[in-house]
Amino acid sequence: MSTYQDLLAAVTDPSGREILDPATGEVVGSVHESTVAELDDAVAAARAAQPEWAGLGHAKRSEYLHRAADAVEANAEALAELLSREQGKPIKNGPNAAFEVGACAVWLRANADFPLEPEVLVDDESGRAELHYVPLGVVGAIGPWNWPMMITVWQVAASLRMGNTVVVKPSEYTPLSVLGLIHVLNQVLPADVLHVVPGGGEVGKALSEHDGVDKIMFTGSTKTGQAIMRSAADGLARLTLELGGNDAGVVLPDVDPQAIAGDLFWGAFINTGQTCAALKRLYVHEDVYDSVCEALVGVAQQMPMGNGREEQNVLGPLQNKQQYDIVAGLVEDAKQGGGRVLIGGDPEPDQPGYFYPTTLVADLPDDNPLVAQEQFGPALPIIKYSDVEDAIRMANGLDVGLGASVWGSDPDAAMAVAQRLEAGTVWINKHGAVDPRVPFGGIKSSGYGLEFGVEGLKSVAASKVISR
């Protein structure tokens, strides 16, 4: 079991680039910036280790994943503190740093235990045909800064279970968190099965176009996902892309506003709104519009924001200045466009850290930038509608389709709307609730490919038919 100082010392390069705490501006540690040559070495080592790893078989690899989960749990406090200091999220309160570290262990165990037997396609007098799933080789995993540890495990766990080796490239904003996680995992995994290569865009591009990489998994912006597709084209690397969201929620007229307000709030403001599948635009029927707005304000007033190491806080800062400026600019657009700020919208000018207050903006038209663009932060636009057909049209009107939600008391009515919303996942009376057993992925410009569950295992494997 490592202390925070032990873990930080293991991943910090004193001569590297400084990483700052987004809550205070203080230095957390320093990270070595890898070169493309170092990336080449990591890919070569992973490729050399892959046949032996694949040869262990599912049962033995699953044992290793359970050992990896044990290691995460044994080092949970140190990992959570490193994550909080680098990413900004509170350590314990709400679904934040301790939650994220715990989810890493949950996903490792789940992927270890999913059954994956050959599928019998034909078995009659003509013969027998079976569909098997075999390793691809080396997986390149490129992760984001919002849930850096958890999303890395989403990519790594399934890939390792299926017999691939993995080279991880973390976000430039949160490399220490991922370095810490992989340091812990590599204490129990065989040598060279899992590598991490921190660096900038040049390293990410080199990984996505590397001829020694058989699959790229990427979570991040649509623009970067498109660039990865272009880079991977020549080598025909397979892709799983989980891209931008801007998820819509539709509130039907039969809801109890007080009963849903808490879940609505956390659907939108989990991780201070910095979640791909967070609720980012809320369409509310005119019959309950004022009541829903009032109930949400009541919940927001009870949610303290501040430094994640201070026990009372449940919301932290935005992770970086660039994202802070995006959120601030979109809220200003909303004000100029006639939006009514119910709470927030006025950050303290001299406060240290990238804290933008929890903000609810009502009475916006559907084409306002705060509605039409993904804010990825603590600002939720609330749009009134009178006809559910209009709500469905507006919800489907953007070229995104990661998640969506419907809120209502009548299960049949909610299901009817859910079936018409264009998204990879539609939740009813909740939003953003992912489960390692349930496949997850987007449509439209929110990407393609599935993660989680047995389908997630298949996505990091090659299909192989054996007929006799």
* Number of other CB atoms surrounding residue 68 within 10 Å: 27
Output the six-digit token pair for 323: 């994202």
Catalytic residue among 77, 81, 86, 242: 242
Catalytic residue among 209, 276, 293, 374: 276
Contacts 24+ apart (CB under 8 A), 230-233: 231/205, 232/208
Q: Is 404:423 a contact under the CB 8 Å cutoff?
A: yes
Q: Is 222:244 a contact under the CB 8 Å cutoff?
A: yes
User: Residues of 308-338 as b/e, b for ≥16 C-beta within 10 angstroms?
Assistant: bbeeebbbbbbbbeebbebbbebbebbeebe
Output the six-digit token pair for 368: 């306002």
Distance CA 224, CA 207 (A): 13
Output the six-digit token pair for 218: 């990427």
Residue 276 among the catalytic residues: yes
Distance CA 152, CA 194 (A): 11
128 Rama sector, left if φ>0, alpha if ψ -120 to 50, beta otherwise: beta
Residues 6+ apart with CB under 8 A from 303: 265, 269, 314, 315, 358
Instruction: Specify which residues 352 forms β-bridges with.
Output: none
As annotated, the active-site residues are 242, 276
